[in-house]
Structure 1
Amino acid sequence: MESASRPLHRSLQVFAVLQWVFSFLGLAPLCLVTLILASLGRAWTLVVLYLLWLYRDRHTPRMGGRRSAWVRNWAVWRHFRDYFPITLVKTAELNPSQNYLFGFHPHGVLVVGAFSNFCTEATGFSRLFPGLKPHLLMLPCWFQMPLFRDYIMTSGLVSSDKASASYLLSHPEGGRVAVLAVGGPLEALEAKPGTVSLRLRHQKGFIKLSLEHGASLVPVFSFGENDLFQQFPNPPGSWIRRMQEALQTILNVALPLFHGRLGLLIPFRVPIHTVVGAPIPVPRSPRPSREQVDQLHKLYVERLTQLFEDHKMCYGVPADQHLVLI
């Protein structure tokens, strides 16, 4: 009986991953086209009402979003988790009366680990960290897409602009977690199997933000994140890298040329282990000096490096491989 159900489980896992990849890459334009077509037909009044409501609701992505426990607990996310599979690893207790800024590394091509661990309950975030509500920060442009923005907010996604992060980190009762893929879209261009290149050397905005609000910093490393897809060769200085960087400047999103299994957009079945490190206490400093920012950045890099070194052997990283900061 168990062997008979195995093909069904694997099929459900593939379906779960495919729907997520489509949601990430194709749902936004589909929602826009649907709204345009509806406005040309008998449903135009509904479209007008929605757009009026959308205008009134325009600040919600910067004010904690609109999470839905029901969406975060959908069964499809458990199949999504099991496809790889994905595991969330806790290394220290976090006080639910405080706010936290999680630095997620590496970005990967599609931030798969960040979504599964912090936008769903498939890996048990609320069980491991009771009293904390995670919000994954996403580029503001995605929240300009009608209908799509309402769907992604249900999982806990919010805008990544400073006002949005500040809203979370200044929550008076604590219990809020802002999760930021520190390397940003450009780090996606470095996401290749067997590599651990992080755009972190000059990324200090998140450090300043944590100081301004006195929010503890928590380094997070997701082992396996860069092994999910193959990318077309794009070494620094190549014509394709220059084109990608130019488009990122214009569109604010990276466009890695990648493929997975069978040359398609299905990621490889590679285990992902997302390790949440110990918190770094941060004193509140409304106007931090450059020296304060530099000192805290140095400490953060040290803690992240130590987190990687302490766990890499457990998750298949060679002993002679180390983080590369760019």
Structure 2
Amino acid sequence: MPKAWPLGLRIPAARIPPKRGPVCAGPHGRSDCPTHITATPKAPGAQTQPSLADSFPDLLCLAAEDCLIASEAPWTITDAELRVTLIVEGQMSIAITVMLIIHNYWFLYIPYLTWLYFDWHTPEQGGRRSSWIKNWTLWKHFKDYFPIHLIKTQDLDPSHNYIFGFHPHGILAAGAFGNFSTNYSDFKELFPGFTSYLHVLPLWFWCPVFREYMMSIGLVSVSKKSVSYVVSKEGGGNISVIVLGGAKESLDAHPGKSTLFIRQRKGFVKIALTHGASLVPVFSFGENELFKQVDNPEGSWIRTVQDKLQKIMGFALPLFHARGVFQYNFGLMPYRKAIHTVVGRPIPVHQILHPTEEQIEELHQTYMEELTKLFEEHKGKYGIPEHETLVLK
């Protein structure tokens, strides 16, 4: 049977030739690869192919300032392909709207634009999700490709609202989307009685028609008004998930490194204090292992250009690469590395309608300490060497 894709596109099921044996999806060529159930043994003395040093810019990064084909499943969509799909569909929605206006199809665009005028603030008011779209089999393949896991360390009180600080951003924040925006993660089983809201860059909701698709999969704006709306809802049971590092942090997403841009991120702390929402640090182990990024140390000309573009456009342009569809040396498909998203202990927050700078700073410092503890307690379980430490910038 052909499978349904977004915007009504249909593609035929692919014929996948039989495999000779399980092959590691990583670039290292190791025979004891921990990321695959079984790896193909290498002949004695065989040389691994070096990874390419050159990279090219990916203009499709979802990184807000403020605020595949798998071997077992044909036509499985991966993170990079998902983001490409979102970008293309967003541009198409704008182009179609412009063409309707140019050719004066007023009976189509006038009713929609009128409705859009009155519906403009919905992304800041909890959005409009669709269980049907969140249950698409597409998301199950997405989750199983890496795969993505969700781990709980402590129960949460469903009578309270929470702010989850998600770290690290990585290149494309696959763990955040897979765990908190689709119905194929273990979120409902681990956190019964809760509804999660994943906050993303507001510009996604400026695209006519496409905004409806974004909201249908549970995404909402990362604006202050949007976060405040979620955590101030009566009765509790609501979780705002914010990828706190944003655009800045994606530029430091290198394999083997754990660098977070958090010291200047204090807006979420003020919102938590204002509404009495508990803070919960979340660390996604493996997020930085999905792609390799061209070396861009601070002070280099590459980093200087990236920082300037990020300030102008609001999202980052990391130069990254990973594997291809039929080979493992170069491409935009992420490596098949397991992602373990660990939800830490909640930090109780007492409501203060007008918090002072000292109160904000004190809670922010407590949050960073709890985040560091979470990393140190669990890093050994997920392949991070004991000597590796969390770097907070």
TM-score interval, smaller chain: over 0.9
- The range that moved more, 36-45 or 62-71, is 36-45
The corresponding residue for 1:136 is: 198
The corresponding residue for 2:110 is: 48
Conservation of the 8 A alpha-carbon contact between 2:204 and 2:214? no
2:359 aligned with 1:295, yes or no? no
Letter in 2 for 1:325: L
TM-score normalized with structure 2 length: 0.78
2:74 aligned with 1:11, yes or no? yes
TM-score normalized with structure 1 length: 0.94
For residues 55-101 of structure 1, the C-alpha deviation after alignment (integer angstroms, 9 at most, x for no partner) is 11101010001111221121111110110000011111111111000
The corresponding residue for 1:232 is: 294
The corresponding residue for 2:274 is: 212
For residues 111-152 of structure 1, the C-alpha deviation after alignment (integer angstroms, 9 at most, x for no partner) is 111000010021121121111111111111221111221111
Letter in 2 for 1:9: E
Structure 1 stretches of 5 or more lacking a match? none
Letter in 2 for 1:272: I
2:280 aligned with 1:280, yes or no? no
SS in structure 2 opposite 1:92? coil
For residues 195-244 of structure 1, the C-alpha deviation after alignment (integer angstroms, 9 at most, x for no partner) is 10000122111111100110000000000001111112211111121111
2:372 aligned with 1:305, yes or no? yes
Letter in 1 for 2:173: V
2:120 aligned with 1:58, yes or no? yes
Among 206, 216, 221, the alignment partner of 1:159 is: 221
What pairs with 1:177-256 in structure 2 (closer than 5 Å)? 177-256=239-318
Among 32, 37, 42, the alignment partner of 2:99 is: 37
For residues 158-216 of structure 1, the C-alpha deviation after alignment (integer angstroms, 9 at most, x for no partner) is 11110110001100111111111111111111111111000012211111110011000
For the structure 1 residues 8 and 204, does the alpha-carbon distance in structure 2 shift closer, same or farther, using more than 3 Å as the test?
Answer: closer
SS in structure 2 opposite 1:172? coil
What pairs with 1:164-175 in structure 2 (closer than 5 Å)? 164-175=226-237
The corresponding residue for 1:115 is: 177
- The range that moved more, 139-148 or 159-168, is 139-148
2:146 aligned with 1:84, yes or no? yes
SS in structure 1 opposite 2:302? helix
Letter in 2 for 1:157: L
Percent of aligned pairs sharing the same letter: 49
Conservation of the 8 A alpha-carbon contact between 1:169 and 1:178? yes
Structure 2 stretches of 5 or more lacking a match? 1-16, 23-69, 325-329
Query: 1:9 Cα deviation (Å)?
Result: 3.4
Conservation of the 8 A alpha-carbon contact between 1:17 and 1:83? no
- Between Structure 1 and Structure 2, the one with more helix by share is 1
For residues 260-308 of structure 1, the C-alpha deviation after alignment (integer angstroms, 9 at most, x for no partner) is 2133221111100000111111000011111111111111111111111
Among 157, 165, 169, the alignment partner of 1:95 is: 157
- The range that moved more, 41-50 or 54-63, is 41-50
Q: State how far apart, in whole Å, the 2-side matches of 1:204 and 1:17 are.
A: 29
For the structure 1 residues 19 and 48, does the alpha-carbon distance in structure 2 shift closer, same or farther, using more than 3 Å as the test?
Answer: farther
The corresponding residue for 2:320 is: 258
Q: State how far apart, in whole Å, the 1-side matches of 2:177 and 2:220 are.
A: 12
2:338 aligned with 1:271, yes or no? yes
SS in structure 1 opposite 2:364? helix
Q: State how far apart, in whole Å, the 1-side matches of 2:86 and 2:156 are.
A: 30
Letter in 2 for 1:58: W
Query: 1:47 Cα deviation (Å)?
Result: 2.0
After superposition, the CA RMSD in angstroms is: 1.9
Q: State how far apart, in whole Å, the 2-side matches of 1:27 and 1:233 are.
A: 31
Conservation of the 8 A alpha-carbon contact between 2:78 and 2:333? no
Larger radius of gyration: 2
